[in-house]
Amino acid sequence: MSPVRSRGPVWIVMGLVLLLTACNSDRPEPAEADVSSAGLRLRVTRVATHPFLSRYRLTLQVDGPQGCTETAELFPDTGYAGRRNLYEQASGAMTLVGQYDARVIDQTRCTIRLVEFQSLVGQSKFLGAFDVDAEKRWQFIPASVRPERPFEKH
């Protein structure tokens, strides 16, 4: 048997391992942030929608102080645009801002509203971001760990 033929199965196994590790799992990946000042827990869950490309469906769930829960579908991550910055407004409302959408979370009414970027004027405090870390894990990264990264407007 030639040396090239005996390596054939090894190359096939290595190729399959590389292919499987490159595939996205459609397993939900939740990331949570507790905002004690507002009495809120926010969870942004991402689910892969394509086996090889960086495409994800994003869902926001808010658990309010009176036990209320509200859920909203966010603009999908269609290629490295999944990061969502979280801010606390001077009014006490929370704002979740992405590359292509912005949501205002009102804890007193337990609502999530899609808003225009232009309506987000005024003072706000950056609390952190839902994003991937250095190991490519989806999580909430507090402002104390990583400073604010603004979005590039095209």
| Domain assignment of residue 78, yes or no | yes
What pLDDT was estimated at residue 1? Answer: 54
SS3 for 135?
Answer: coil
The closest of 35, 39, 10 to 126, measured between CA atoms, is 35
| Domain assignment of residue 1, yes or no | no
Q: Judge whether residue 10 has pLDDT over 70.
A: no
SS3 for 78?
Answer: coil
Q: Are strands 124-132 and 138-142 parallel, antiparallel or unpaired?
A: antiparallel
| Domain assignment of residue 113, yes or no | yes
Domain extent at residue 65: 26-142
Contact predicate 45/57, CB 8 Å: no
CA distance 39 to 17: 45
**Domain count for the chain:** 1
| Domain assignment of residue 118, yes or no | yes
| Domain assignment of residue 153, yes or no | no
Taking only the tens place, the pLDDT of each residue in 117-142 is 777 877 899 999 999 999 999 999 99
Taking only the tens place, the pLDDT of each residue in 41-98 is 999 999 999 998 889 999 999 999 888 999 999 999 988 889 999 999 988 889 999 9
